Amino acid sequence: MTSKDLPLIPDFSRQHFNLGELLNRVENPDGQWTDLPIRPGIYLVLWPIGKPLRIREEAGEPGRILAQRWIEITERSPTDILYIGKGDSLRNRVRQLVRFGCGRATNHRGGEELWWIEGIGDAGVLIQTCPDDKQTGFENEALERFFRGHGNYPLANSQGPRGPERWWPDS
């Protein structure tokens, strides 16, 4: 599964951001977040297919395990997906993720391993809004589809689907 497999949902927005630019918003006191939707949906953190992924040395043994896991995931089938998350308000949830990465928040435990990746600011963030109350099912189904294609969950997802809810556009 790659980000290209994420379906476009008619009447719901899809946006792409550079993670480095989002990180700069945290450092800038005037940084604005109003271009991110307040609607529910899922977001993916993306790494270019074929670009080497290196883990920071200070990650130690957990970092070496993570690097080996990335090799196993991408050898089975190339992917650009590092992390899949969801939010009731994508603006708030993505802002929490980015603030966590800058050490300014403690309320986003998902995706912790993203911050072990050298040059993570080069990653992309894909945001896809969805109908109200479908974000959990959407995330669960995306995680399940990723697992079927790669034999593992995305690199920075420490666990798979939570609960039985599943939703995918046109299914």
Q: What is the DSSP letter of 54?
A: -
Q: What would you report as the CA-atom Rg of the chain, rounded to the nearest whole angstrom?
A: 15
Identify the CA nearest to 27 among candidates 128, 117, 99: 99
pLDDT of 102 reads 84
The answer to whether residue 38 scores a pLDDT higher than 90 is: yes
Residue 149's nearest CA partner among 85, 49, 81 is: 81
Instruction: Give mean pLDDT, residues 163-168.
Output: 96
Q: What is the pLDDT of residue 105?
A: 72
pLDDT band at 171 (very low <50, low <70, confident <90, very high): low
Assess contact for 90 and 37: CB atoms under 8 A: yes
Residue 34 CA to residue 38 CA, distance in Å, equals: 9
Q: What is the mean pLDDT of residues 45-70?
A: 96
With a cut of 90, say whether residue 114 has pLDDT above it: yes
Whether pLDDT at 170 is above 90: no
